[in-house]
Amino acid sequence: MEIPVKSWYDAIFLRHSQRRYSGEVPDDEVTARIEKVCNDFRPFSGARAVLVRNPSKDVFKGAVGELFYKVKETPYYIAFIGDMDAPNVQTITGYLGEGVILEATALGLNTCWVGGFYRREPVMEQVSLKDGERVLGITPIGYSKKETDRVGVSSKQYRRKNLDKLVLSGDVDDKKWVRTALEAVRIAPSAANRQPWRFKIDRDAITVSANSKREGFNVSRKLDCGIAMLHLELGARVEGMSGDWKFLVYPDVAIHKIK
């Protein structure tokens, strides 16, 4: 599937995590488009997304804690599944999942990545996994309970690090595409908003690295970095700069080289 660059790029600025849903079921056309992106967006082999209708009530039970709120009344959820034998499985699942989330956002649907804090047993009953596969994250999907939290009407303030804390080397303002790409990453979602991504800017390339090898919140930083990769690529492409990804040795994650 070709990435719809403009609509996903625009969706970056509309997306926010939503945990309370109205229960309203998306209409057939919207549902079909979500089903289609789940089936067709397979940028790397080894990661896939599955739409689950009629979620078991237990899936989001227990998703509580200081930073985590119970997800309520979602009509659907999507499971992001990785083949644990595939290279870079966490990273490619983050990239794939964020594509599905941005398409949902573009369709006016609310979402929320949920990494560690959901019940695995009911998900296992609803999603059939092949040998070696694991569900690495899920997202509720539907319409926010509060009208003011719906996609497109949110006045969300982002709590994010400034770029000078994220860029390890190189000049953000050397080229327009570099700033656009990094501004698009800056507001990407990450587990507990930890923003683990760091960047090295070269002449025609940006390297994405993780800030630590330590894991936490039951979610790999590599998954967060996969999300960042898609945002970075969309920012570059919206400025007319297409590139290729090459995976690197952790804690470096991947380098995006402009063609």
Ligand X SMILES: Cc1cc2nc3c(=O)[nH]c(=O)nc-3n(C[C@H](O)[C@H](O)[C@H](O)COP(=O)(O)O)c2cc1C
CB 78 within 8 Å of CB 121: no
* Binds ligand X (CB under 6 A): choice among 11, 38, 63, 79: 63
Query: Measuring CA to CA, which residue among 170, 194, 182 is closest to residue 233?
Result: 182
Binds ligand X by CB under 6 A, chosen from 190, 197, 209, 235 = 190
Calpha distance 102→99 (Å, rounded): 5
Please, which residue, 15 or 175, has the CB nearer to ligand X? 15
User: Could you say whether residue 116 binds ligand X (CB under 6 A)?
Assistant: yes
C-alpha distances (whole Å) from 1 to each of 5, 43, 143, 216 are 12, 8, 26, 33
Pick 38 or 114: Cβ nearer ligand X: 114
Q: Which residue, 177 or 199, is less far from ligand X as judged by CB? A: 199
Q: Cβ of 187: how many Cβ atoms within 10 Å?
A: 16
Which residue bears the tokens 């625009």?
A: 10
Cα 252–Cα 97–Cα 107 angle in degrees, nearest 5: 135
Q: Considering only residues 4, 42, 69, 248, which one is a binding residue for ligand X as defined by CB under 6 A? A: 69
Residues 193-212 that bind ligand X (CB under 6 A): 193
Shortest distance in whole angstroms from residue 31 CB to ligand X: 23
Question: 43 or 116: whose CB is closer to ligand X?
Answer: 116
For every residue of 38-105, DSSP letters joined together read HHH--SSTTEEEEEEES--TTTTTT--SSS----B--SEEEEEEEETTSTTHHHHHHHHHHHHHHHHH
137 touches ligand X (CB under 6 A): yes
How far, CA to CA in Å, does 169 sit from each of 2, 194, 201, 209?
32, 20, 6, 12
CA distance 88 to 247: 8
CB of 68 or CB of 177, closer to ligand X: 68
Minimum distance between the CB of residue 23 and ligand X, rounded to whole angstroms? 19
Nearer to ligand X by C-beta: 122 or 170? 122
The answer to the question of residue 89 lying near ligand X (CB under 6 A) is no
Q: Please tell me the count of residues contacting ligand X according to CB under 6 A.
A: 22
Q: Does 134 bind ligand X (CB under 6 A)?
A: no
Q: In whole angstroms, how close is the CB of 133 to ligand X at the nearest point? A: 18
DSSP H/E element including 236: helix 221-238
| Minimal distance, residue 117 CB to ligand X, in Å | 4
Q: Is 77 in the site for ligand X (CB under 6 A)?
A: no
Are 117 and 17 spatial neighbours (Cβ–Cβ below 8 Å)?
A: no
Contact with ligand X (CB under 6 A) among 12, 38, 141, 191: 191
Q: What is the binding site for ligand X (CB under 6 A)?
A: 16-17, 19, 63, 68-69, 112-117, 137, 189-193, 219, 223-224, 227
